[in-house]
Structure 1
Amino acid sequence: MAGSTTRPDTRAAREDQDQGITRRLLDSSATLSYDPAVEVDWDTPLDKDFHGASPEWSTLYGTAYWQELTEEQRKELTRHEAASVASTGIWFEMILQQMVLRDIYAKDPTGPDFQWALTEIAEECRHSIMFARGAKKLGAPAYRPRRVVLELGRAFKTLAVGEAAYAAILVAEEVLDVMQRDWMRDERVVPFVRTINNIHVVEESRHMKFARDETRKRLAGAGWARRQLNAFVVAVASYVIVSSMVNRNVYANAGLDGERALAEARANEHHKAMMRSSCAGLMNFLASVGLLTRPAVVFYRRAHLI
């Protein structure tokens, strides 16, 4: 009899705790949010004396080809790479918004979980517009993932649910967050891009906390088979997302030898090490919730996240 009274109390306490998290996220959003249309300097012409991203994050940094480039070529390349990362961010934020909307479709709209989810979607919409305007101001074309990746994304946003959706969201957000924390503090990066990165880092910290909490919550009580399946799905999605961040066309569009640049970028141990070191915390989290299985590790290694 004691057990039957304890379980509802425990469940209620857990629900109160979960709602407390989303209430705090709502309060944070009300206190610290930005309007990119106002905060970002869209009017000042692009100053080509600046990089688009920290040079150390360039896919060619540390290669023989990088050593041959002039400073002007390096800056042009990082501007195209930053625009490509922004475009990939837009693509995945559109996937994220659809998954979150689908998740809350039939939930109680008066609850803080529902209202936080809509707040997150509103912030992601502003981020996507901000990234789009930023990429255009950098003088880059629209960089879209390959057709096969677009179709995989279409399937993923339709089928992924629960922890698979939220853990994949977390991976994409964390990888981008690490890069942008460096870029926003780097005075070599063009000022308006630094502002964009700062806005995204501040607001995305709330989204990552929510994704972590949702992943833990959805996995509570999950069995071995479910964890194995979702670990594999998240790892594959992560590989596709990360490998799509820098479009192969950035090199030719920056005036470089596209084939040589792509070959050297793929073999660039410096960039691989940057990715691995920046994702240590993320991998620890995935391990802590049982999503870093042997099959999953194969894909994280291919993406140079571990």
Structure 2
Amino acid sequence: MSTHDLYTTAPDEPLWTVPATGAARFSWDYDDGRERLLALYQKGKDKQWDGNKRIDWSLEVDPSDPLGTPDEALTLYGTPHWAKMTEKDRGELRKHYTAWQFSQFLHGEQGAMICAARIVESVPDMDAKFYSATQAMDEARHAEIYGRFLHEKVQMLYPVNDSLQGLLGDTLRDSRWDMPYLGMQVLIEGLALAAFGMIRDTTTRPLPKQILAYVMQDEARHVAFGRMALRDYYKQLSDAERREREEFVIEGCYLMRDRLSGVEVLENFGIGKQEAKDLSEHSEFLQLFRKLLFSRIVPCVKDIGLWGERLQKAYVDMGVLELGDSNLDLLMAQDEEIAEQLDKDRFEAEERERVAEVAEAIAQGGTDA
């Protein structure tokens, strides 16, 4: 079945064209580079993996409960709408929310792939070009994996959210070479990491847990790359130039906080847009979710040197200023450990199965004799 047959609502257009601005930059300096960035590039090469082999696609997924997360996370839970729903309706709602979430992950990964390619083209430093090339491969793999999960296991897709599309467009249209870093590596990838982590840590289903853990292992490197590159560059900017970047961050954060709530899902269940917005706004889970979405962004923004008074006031308004003191390095180390532990557990289980098969074959041979 084609992708377009699986969309709940057909996209406005089959292709979205974003006019590109800015220069392609060549560097003739091939033997210089920042040691930390080149080390990250080496790690990016060493950590390449094949989604067809590393992920166990034979694992079944229940279409009526693909993630196995608590129903309390659903916006309609505890409302009169929920009370009126049959168990079949509730299963369909779970499926739609999973389709919506993973569709936004998929669209975001395509955007990340395009932004990584744009960075290769526009960034002036060869070490950054090297690393961005590995990231483009990572993002292609992530888009492939999310697409496969949606096609084969969920069998439903949602179009790109308007706010996500708007932020992607703003990021790609800007002619300044650092803006794809800021828009993608810091804002969109930061939001994605937080969302991935919440599902990874609450799902009871092994397949989505594998997918999210392995993707997060890659994404942690991408955020580290953005931090390194932008921290060095933003030290050189004037106060006015830094304020421009801070305004971009403020607008992007408000946009994503207020609009990434799955209103489209509720509309597909016959709930009007305004009521859907109100339900999303007052959902206790979504209030917590919106705050946790910034757990990766706020400390990163502070780390790269965008911490002016206006930006801090915006984060106070959002109730997330204290997240600026979070330890990003610790969070990324945990992402790495979780993925490696999943690999270890899976390989040990497979080894036990092989040992059992050999023992059974030996025992069978003795019986036959």
TM-score bracket, normalised by the shorter chain, equals: 0.7 to 0.9
What secondary structure is seen at the aligned counterpart in 1 of 2:169? Answer: helix
CA deviations 1:25-56 (Å, max 9, x no partner) are 23323333332223334455532464437337
Aligned pairs (5 A) from 1:187-198: 187-188=203-204, 190-198=205-213
Structure showing greater radius of gyration is 2
1:250 deviates by 1.5
Q: What amino acid is the match of 1:229?
A: E
Which residue number corresponds to residue 7 of structure 1?
Answer: none
C-alpha spacing 1:175/1:102, structure 2 compared with 1 (3 Å): closer
Contact 1:61 1:270 in 2 (8 A): no
Amino acid at match of 1:216: R
Structure 1 unmatched ranges of 5 or more: 1-14
Alignment of 1:133-152 (within 5 A): 133-136=148-151, 137-146=153-162, 150=165
> CA 1:44 to 1:175, structure 2 compared with 1: closer, same or farther past 3 Å?
same
Shift of 1:123: 0.6
Deviation at 1:23, TM superposition (A): 2.5
Aligned to 2:302: 287
Q: Is the 8 A contact 1:273 1:304 kept in 2?
A: no
Between the aligned partners of 1:160 and 1:273, the Cα distance in structure 2 is 35
Moved more, 159-168 or 43-52: 43-52
**Residue 218 of structure 2 corresponds to residue 203 of structure 1:** yes
Corresponding position of 2:247: 232
2:360 counterpart residue number? none
1:101 to 117, 134, 140: 117
Q: 1:201 to 1:281 in 2, by over 3 A?
A: closer
Indicate the residue corresponding to 2:196 in structure 1: 180
Counterpart of 2:145? 130
- Does 2:156 correspond to 1:153? no
Normalising to structure 2: TM-score of the pair? 0.65
Whole-angstrom CA distance in 1 between matches of 2:159 and 2:319: 22
1:240-251 correspondence runs (5 A): 240-251=255-266
Structure 2 residue matching 1:222: 3-state secondary structure: coil
Contact 1:57 / 1:179 at 8 angstroms: preserved in 2? no
Which whole-Å CA distance do the structure 1 matches of 2:305 and 2:194 have between them?
23
**Larger deviation: 204-213 or 129-138?**
129-138
Q: Within 2, Cα distance between the matches of 1:211 and 1:158?
A: 19
2:59 is the alignment partner of 1:55: no
Counterpart in the other structure of 1:25: 40
Partner of 1:9: none
Confirm or deny: 8 A CA contact 2:41 2:134 kept in the other structure: yes
| Map 1:29-108 → 2, pairs under 5 A | 29-48=44-63, 50-52=65-67, 54-55=69-70, 58=73, 60=75, 64=79, 68=83, 76-105=92-121
- Report the CA distance between 1:172 and its aligned residue: 1.7
SS at 1:249's partner residue?
helix
Q: What is the CA RMSD across the aligned residues, in angstroms? A: 3.5
Q: CA deviation at 1:125?
A: 0.9
Structure 2 CA distance for aligned equivalents of residues 176 and 207 of structure 1: 12
Whether 2:230 is the aligned partner of 1:215: answer yes
Judged with a 3 Å threshold, the aligned counterparts in structure 2 of structure 1 residues 192 and 93 are, in CA distance, closer, same or farther, namely same
Structure 2 residue corresponding to 1:113, chosen from 109, 112, 128: 128
The residue type equivalent to 2:188 in the other structure is A
Q: AA paired with 1:207? A: H
CA distance in 1, matches of 2:223, 2:110: 16
Opposite residue 138 of structure 2, the aligned amino acid is E
Tell me the amino acid that sits aligned with residue 176 of structure 1.
A
Q: How many residues align?
A: 287
Question: Is there any run of 5+ residues in structure 2 with no aligned partner, and where?
Answer: 1-30, 322-369
Q: Give aligned-pair identity as a percent.
A: 16
Instruction: Indicate the structure whose relative CO is greater, using CA pairs within 8 Å and at least 6 residues apart.
Output: 1
SS in structure 2 of the partner of residue 143 of structure 1: coil
- Equivalent pair of 1:104/1:114 in contact (CA under 8 Å): yes
